[in-house]
Amino acid sequence: MPGVKYSGRLSDAELAAVLPPAERLAQGPVAVIECVQSIPCNPCEKACPFGAITVGDDITALPALDRAKCKGCGLCISRCPGLAIFVVDASGDEATIMLPYEYLPLPAAGDVVDALDRSGKPAGTARVLKVNTAAGLEGTAVVTLAVPRKLADIVRNFRPRGRDAIYICRCNEVSEAEIRQAVREGARTVAAVKLATRAGMGLCQGRTCRRLVSRIIAEETGQHPAEVLPATARPPVRTLPLGTLAGGEDDE
């Protein structure tokens, strides 16, 4: 949107609109849908077997969650291409957070990991309770973490400990360490890192890794993530309904 400066993180106002009230959190697991941009997307709506998520006929509308209907099953998490859905349960002595995880290698139940906040900064220590790979190894895994209750609204990612290779670009198997090294050797933009490491040149064309690369550049250089120059966007730049494509040449 012209004039809007995106930071890659939700603003306080956006967070206030999507976070469940303390009373609902205390009742048991509930989805937290941190999807705040009007993009044409709605797999979450169909993923929920309880009809708790509504996008509606306007596919660019933001998803609306009926928290009374949500059972906290987490089925919607791996279906969200934006990795925007989490399930938080703050009803016990410690909180649990189910989150989408697309890095390899996957953690194992029992691992102690570094919990990260929405900007990727360490927020504390977490324990991996469960790793669900029902979506298949090419899909999005759902990892359940146990964290102190006060971190229920803060932790949205984690970093394994004691592992050498965390892959940022899964298509070309480019690790976090390789990207950090490229930045330390002078690559200051997503495009420069792409040329130096091939991160973002794979089949997905950087759908997942370009944001992660931006974040690493920002961490290494002390910039705000929004100040890091993005890579050149390639077509398609406009979405089309499948019906239009199916109409072939005769359909304008």
Residue 6 Cβ, how far from ligand SF4 at the closest point, in Å?
15
Number of residues that bind ligand SF4 (CB under 6 A): 27
Residue 193 Cβ, how far from ligand SF4 at the closest point, in Å?
25
C-alpha span between 232 and 56 (Å, rounded): 32
Select from 66-74, 173-181, 188-196, 239-247 the region that touches ligand SF4 (CB under 6 A): 66-74
Near ligand SF4 by CB under 6 A: residue from 15, 19, 73, 135: 73
Residue 40 Cβ, how far from ligand SF4 at the closest point, in Å?
9
- In 3D space, the residue among 103, 152, 111 whose CA is nearest the CA of residue 128 turns out to be 111
- In 3D space, the residue among 112, 97, 95 whose CA is nearest the CA of residue 149 turns out to be 95
C-alpha span between 252 and 245 (Å, rounded): 10
Select from 68-76, 101-109, 122-130, 135-143 the region that touches ligand SF4 (CB under 6 A): 68-76
Q: Which residues contact 10 (CB under 8 A, 6 or more apart)?
A: 18, 34, 36, 118
Q: Is 20 in the site for ligand SF4 (CB under 6 A)?
A: no
The one-character DSSP state at 61 is S
C-alpha span between 187 and 227 (Å, rounded): 14
Q: Is 145 in the site for ligand SF4 (CB under 6 A)?
A: no
Residue 53 Cβ, how far from ligand SF4 at the closest point, in Å?
5
Near ligand SF4 by CB under 6 A: residue from 18, 75, 145, 183: 75
Q: Is 47 in the site for ligand SF4 (CB under 6 A)?
A: yes
SS3 at position 248: helix
Near ligand SF4 by CB under 6 A: residue from 10, 18, 63, 199: 63
Q: Is 149 exposed, middle or buried (CB count within 10 Å of its CB: 0-12, 13-18, 19+)?
A: middle
H-helix segments, the chain: 12-18, 22-27, 43-47, 176-184, 190-197, 209-221, 242-246
Residue 36 Cβ, how far from ligand SF4 at the closest point, in Å?
9
Distance of CA 123 to the CA centre of its chain: 17
Select from 81-89, 123-131, 154-162, 198-206 the region that touches ligand SF4 (CB under 6 A): 81-89
CB nearer ligand SF4, residue 63 or residue 200: 63
List residues near ligand SF4 by CB under 6 A.
31, 33, 35, 41-44, 47-48, 50, 52-53, 55, 63, 70-76, 80-82, 84-85, 87
